[in-house]
Chain A
Amino acid sequence: QAGLTQPPSVSKGLRQTATLTCTGNSNSVGNEGAAWLQQHQGHPPKLLSYRSNNRPSGISERFSASRSGNTASLTISGLQAEDEADYYCSAWDSSLSAWVFGGGTKLTVL
């Protein structure tokens, strides 16, 4: 099944801003937008945003999501050590009638 494309790794310094990207197609990201998940080693994923720019309650405003065409982005401002994690995007693909995930981006905070 066609998945979403994410860069494998991103590195940024403390207090800097990181922008992660996720590319799909018109049936997935370009249709209903993407969701973003954060996963720390050994823990289940945690939802950070959904339908491109909706943040669940309790999620810091430092995490903001957007979409342009078939590409979704997650911007994390004021990077903190605890932001070091794997980040996944996901979307419903209407042509496949399936959820698809990106391969994940490992964010390293230097």
Chain B
Amino acid sequence: QVQLVQSGAEVKKPGASVKVSCKASGYTFTSHFLHWVRQAPGQGLEWMGLISPSDGGTAYAEQFQGRVILTRDTSTSTVYMELSSLTSEDTAVYYCARELGGHDHWGQGTLVTVSS
């Protein structure tokens, strides 16, 4: 079965960077785009960007341009999301999600807390 397993919770200080991983299994890794979506406490879903596992091509939401980098490792079927220059506004649960028309499978989420 399709599974997306994310790395554990992180606590970071303002100005720092965070790197979250998402390991895919149960399907052909290179066949589907993988997206990153975040959700601040009590708020809605916010799209951050996507990566094509087959060629590493990326697209980012305008509000994250220059601050987020998505990468992938085809040898381990893992994608990574690195977000820099963190502020308290970046405190959120970060999800990876597979695309099939919509986002049909989601990781369990990774809580990133930014606090001094």
A interface residue numbers (CB < 8 A to B): 1, 35-37, 39, 44-47, 49-51, 54, 56, 88, 90, 96-104
Nearest B-chain residue to A97, judged by Cβ: B59
Nearest A-chain residue to B49, judged by Cβ: A98
Majority SS at the chain B contact face? strand
Is B17 interfacial (CB-CB < 8 Å)?
no
Is B29 interfacial (CB-CB < 8 Å)?
no
Nearest B-chain residue to A98, judged by Cβ: B61
A100: B residues at CB distance < 8 A:
47
Chain B residue total in the interface (Cβ 8 A) = 23
Tell me the bound Cα distance from A35 to B97 in angstroms. Answer: 13
7 A-B pairs in the complex with CB atoms less than 8 angstroms apart:
A1-B61, A39-B45, A47-B105, A49-B102, A54-B101, A98-B62, A104-B45
Report if A96-B62 is in contact (Cβ < 8 Å); known contacts: A90-B45, A104-B45: yes
Please give the distance in Å from B97's CB to the nearest CB on chain A: 8
B50: A residues at CB distance < 8 A:
99
Report if A50-B59 is in contact (Cβ < 8 Å); known contacts: A44-B95, A101-B45, A101-B47: no
Is B76 interfacial (CB-CB < 8 Å)?
no
Report if A37-B61 is in contact (Cβ < 8 Å); known contacts: A99-B50, A101-B44, A104-B45: no
Nearest A-chain residue to B100, judged by Cβ: A50
Report if A44-B101 is in contact (Cβ < 8 Å); known contacts: A1-B62, A99-B35, A101-B46: no
A47 pairs with B62, CB closer than 8 A: no
Tell me the bound Cα distance from A88 to B47 in angstroms. Answer: 12
B106 pairs with A45, CB closer than 8 A: yes
| Highest count of chain B CB atoms <10 Å: which of A39, A54, A90, A102 | A90
Please give the distance in Å from B42's CB to the nearest CB on chain A: 10
A44 pairs with B106, CB closer than 8 A: yes
Tell me the bound Cα distance from A59 to B46 in angstroms. Answer: 24
Is B104 interfacial (CB-CB < 8 Å)?
yes
| Highest count of chain A CB atoms <10 Å: which of B61, B63, B103 | B103
8 Å CB contact of A35 from B44, B101, B109: B101
Report if A98-B59 is in contact (Cβ < 8 Å); known contacts: A44-B95, A44-B106: yes
